[in-house]
Amino acid sequence: MEKVDSILESIPYLLKMPSKRIWVDYDDEADVLYISFRKPQQANDSIMEDDIIYHYHDKELVGLTILHAKGKS
């Protein structure tokens, strides 16, 4: 039940995402979480701040790459 509770706690944050569709991939070996708000992302700019890479297509946020993801939880 603890995992379900964690998922339920994240619902308000998921509803605030910039897209109604979200794709999530996690690379356990590299501890990197990839979140896409558009497939394909077609990002043409990226900005890195504090181990998070923000991917943009023009001014629209189309994805996030979160390095050291386990440390963020």
Find the distance separating the first CA and the last CA of the chain, reported in whole Å.
18
Rounded CA-CA distance 25/48 in Å is 19
Q: Indicate the pTM of the whole model.
A: 0.84
Residue 73: which pLDDT band, with cuts at 50, 70 and 90? Answer: low
- Give tens-digit pLDDT for 23-50: 999 999 999 999 999 999 999 999 999 9
CB of 65 closer than 8 Å to CB of 51: no
